[in-house]
Amino acid sequence: MQKRILGKSGLEVSALGLGCMGLSFGYGPATDKQHAIKLIRAAYDKGVTFFDTAEAYGPFANEELLGEALEPFRNDVVIATKFGFKEGKTALGTDSRPENIRAVAEAALKRLRTDVIDLFYQHRVDPNVPIEEVAGTVKELIKEGKVKYFGLSEAGVQTIRKAHAVQPVTALQSEYSLWWRDPEKEIIPTLEELGIGFVPFSPLGKGFLTGKIDESTTFDKNDFRNIVPRFSEENRKANQALVDLLGKIAKERNATAAQIALAWLLAQKPWIVPIPGTTKLHRLEENVGSAEITLSDDDLKEINEAVSKIEVQGARYPEQLQKMVGR
């Protein structure tokens, strides 16, 4: 697989990463451990060198899983993890106090079976701790050799600028896809100006853009999508138009809707590295195949024109979670 460099940092990763959250958290029961290890190692065999986790995924279980799965080839991969929630639990709210950042780093190193965290993201901006203090703490961890690069997740433009002035931000991780294009307004121009890479999560719209979800789909009782307005039955029905369009374009190019959605993201900027997640080996193969698809300027124009006529229905987060993004 081709490689990309995240912004001006020099951090080289595979053009597509693997978002590992869904193996342990967020989308129903955790995947069987041996199957999950097999999937992670299969991704590596297919050229994926960038793996994304967080202490909050489980909590802790996902880091432990990744640590075990990647141990045989630790030096050949880039592992990103995150700090910033009380006790690693999203329900308890944010905690980016310096002492917590340090404690999370030490614990994550053990769980990941490594002596350095390649990319350490603040999971969500903490309104109670100045971002300069957060960036300063990560800067110290970098000097101590425990962390290599600093990242932010779902941060707003002002926060990105303030953090970057203290410790260069290597990557911003936020949602971005054909059905959530808000970052194009302010975020992407800011990242381009500052030389920061962009790591879109949910590049397939939490599975919706694959075309495998419709109005009649039922999710596991523990599936996060049950509380997402965009996934209400009514909105799924309304948003089907976007999936139908992607399917039509994909068919013309002998690809799948998911592959077109990922290829579109890769075509936006050379420093964008999407991290689709999956629990299925055949989906992993499908996603990896998107890195081989090159969309021409005419293709991109056709997709943009067609998509601009469709208004996606429903918020991407329930209200209480929406308040935590873009700060």
Kindly report the backbone phi and psi dihedral angles of residue 200, in degrees, each rounded to the nearest multiple of 5, phi listed first: -75, 125
pLDDT in tens, 173-186: 999 999 999 999 99
What pLDDT is attached to residue 291? 97
What is the token pair recorded at 83? 């700090």
pLDDT in tens, the chain (327 residues): 999 999 899 999 999 999 999 999 999 999 999 999 999 999 999 999 999 999 999 999 999 999 999 999 999 999 999 999 999 999 999 999 999 999 999 999 999 999 999 999 999 999 999 999 999 999 999 999 999 999 999 999 999 999 999 999 999 999 999 999 999 999 999 999 999 999 999 999 999 999 999 999 999 999 999 999 999 999 999 999 999 999 999 999 999 999 999 999 999 999 999 999 999 999 999 999 999 999 999 999 999 999 999 999 999 999 999 999 999
pLDDT in tens, 80-124: 999 999 999 999 999 999 999 999 999 999 999 999 999 999 999
Residues 6+ apart with CB under 8 A from 182: none
What is the token pair recorded at 179? 């059905």
What pLDDT is attached to residue 282? 97
**Helix/strand/coil for 173:** strand
**Active site includes 57?**
yes
Strand order of the sheet with strand 169-175? 18-19, 50-52, 78-83, 117-122, 147-153, 169-175, 197-201
The DSSP bridge partners found for residue 169 are 150
Q: How many CA atoms lie within 13 A of 122 on its CB side?
A: 36
What pLDDT is attached to residue 221? 94
Among candidate residues 57, 121, 149, 176, the one labeled active-site is 57
pLDDT in tens, 246-272: 999 999 999 999 999 999 999 999 999
pLDDT in tens, 53-63: 999 999 999 99
Q: Which domains does the chain have, with CATH numbers?
A: 3-206+268-293 (3.20.20.100)
Alpha-carbon gap, residue 24 to 259, rounded angstroms: 24
What pLDDT is attached to residue 187? 98
Torsion, Cα of 68, 72, 77, 82 (10° steps):
20
Angle at 30 between CA 43 and CA 221, to 5 degrees: 130
